[in-house]
Amino acid sequence: MSNTYLTLCVILVVVLMACIALLMRSYVKMVNRNLTLRESVENLGKLNDKLRMDRHDYLNHLQVIYGLMELEEYEEMNAYLRKVYKELLKTGKAIKTSKPALNALLAAKMAEAESHGIEFLIEVKSDLKELRIEDWELCKVLSNLIDNAVRALDESEQPEKKILINVNERPDRYIFDVENNGPKIPEELQSGIFKKGFSTKKEEGHGMGLAIVSEILSANKGSICLRSNEKETVFTVEFEKGD
């Protein structure tokens, strides 16, 4: 009888520990989701403020352009128009997907990168309407990759620093490229860069958050690969279409 009782107690303890582990995992996931959602709301607010400011500035721009035209300063007018168009194009490219949280994230990261003296380019060739991953998880993935690119360029002596975000799709998959022209990631580090706990002082900027990225992608049937040389470093994230 005592052995049976002891066995039942052990089984009960194991079941309870398993339940606690599941609850803790769910709790951590919920906390991470809430933090990312809060960040997305803040980014949406910033994007909304920027769009309001841009709208307010339209009248001022038109007045300047009209004044230059009246003065027949056509070269100055063309130069002014090019600058205004370039700024408007940046915001326009950042809000082309069907994912408001992603649009807001790209706009926020663009502003952050430019505050570091980094040119931030976006090419969007997909509206992502059929992308299955949760918006907050997609934002977590891209946010980590972009932050790492900014850190890498901050440590670089490259005179012209650039980050390019390319959002594309093929008949069978969605593709996200996060590219920067910072220093090459040494080949001996590339194979372990996605492993949990990976970090070195030299490559800390690249390694931070990549294990989290890898875990999110594994849970959503996604993949990530790295290509790095002396000219560019590119992280490519892919999600298969369909169920």
Q: What is the pLDDT of residue 185?
A: 86
Task: Give the tens place of pLDDT for each residue, 80-122.
Answer: 777 776 766 666 655 678 888 888 888 888 888 888 999 888 8
Q: Give a yes or no: residue 199 inside a domain.
A: yes
Q: What is the pLDDT of residue 204?
A: 44
Tell me the CATH number at 214: 3.30.565.10
- The total domain count for the chain is 1
For residues 121 and 106, what is the distance between their CA atoms, to the nearest angstrom?
A: 10
Mark the ranges of the chain whose per-residue pLDDT is less than 50: 200-208
Q: What is the pLDDT of residue 60?
A: 72
Sign (positive/negative) of CA torsion 77, 78, 79, 81?
positive
The pTM is what? 0.66
Q: Give a yes or no: residue 8 inside a domain.
A: no
C-beta neighbour count of 24 within 10 angstroms: 10
For Cα atoms 119, 124, 126, give the angle at the middle one, nearest 5 degrees.
165
Q: Give a yes or no: residue 9 inside a domain.
A: no
Q: Which structural domain range is residue 87 located in? A: 30-240
